Amino acid sequence: MGADPYKPVAPRSYEALRDAGRRVLWPVLGTRPWARAFAAATRGPLSVPEVVARLCAAARQAGIPPLLVVGVALAETGLRGTDEQGNLGRGWFQMFVHQKPYPTSERAPTVEEAHDLDYSATEFCRAAAHRANYDPSVRRDLWRWAVETQGVARFLDNNVPYQPPNFATLLREADGLIREFG
């Protein structure tokens, strides 16, 4: 047996493949059939229609766009409310439980509170509304509003869902979910 003459070549980047997939799927994302399929395929502690409806209610109560809240929830846990191994964040919005998650928070939440959809959505919405009151220009840019509220602006290389093209895709998905279930 000799050495394999066909050595594997590592791709330089998966960006071209990812972008091609995004272009192919773009017309489908955000449609009602896609939203129903996403809801059927997603497994979490609550059903997707219930999660979207409760997130939209919290957003409307706080006076912020539901698209922002559902988009961030998609970016953080894919509407599953699960914890990632090795991540300090917990629950629906990956809130820190060892410190206050947002400047508007009165205290650090317990693990149970971070997993309580209504509590974590209210905390996020309060922080997002505060951010918009502090800097009204964020209302014109949902990506910037999300990144600044979640505090991930300095860590975009490590937060793939918040990179602009990925977050745009998540907003398209969130729009379809809101139209179907919100």
The residue segments making up the domain with residue 130 are: 27-181
Q: How confident is the model at residue 158 (pLDDT cuts 50, 70, 90)?
A: confident
For residue 31, give the DSSP letter. S
* Residue 80 domain-assigned (yes or no): yes
* Residue 9 domain-assigned (yes or no): no
Average pLDDT, the chain: 86
pLDDT on residue 94:
87
* Residue 22 domain-assigned (yes or no): no
Other CB atoms within 10 A of residue 67 CB: 20
* Residue 32 domain-assigned (yes or no): yes
Q: 12 versus 120: which is more confidently predicted? A: 120
Domain at 124, CATH number = 1.10.530
CB 170, CB 145: distance < 8 Å: no
Q: How confident is the model at residue 53 (pLDDT cuts 50, 70, 90)?
A: very high
pLDDT on residue 126:
97
pLDDT on residue 2:
59
Q: How many domains does the chain have?
A: 1
3-state class (DSSP) for residue 139:
helix
* Residue 102 domain-assigned (yes or no): yes
* Residue 170 domain-assigned (yes or no): yes
Between CA 11 and CA 22 the distance in angstroms is: 19
Q: Round the CA-based radius of gyration of the chain to a whole number and report it.
A: 18
Instruction: Please check the confidence at residue 13 and state whether its pLDDT lies above 60.
Output: no
Between CA 104 and CA 63 the distance in angstroms is: 16
* Residue 47 domain-assigned (yes or no): yes
* Residue 167 domain-assigned (yes or no): yes
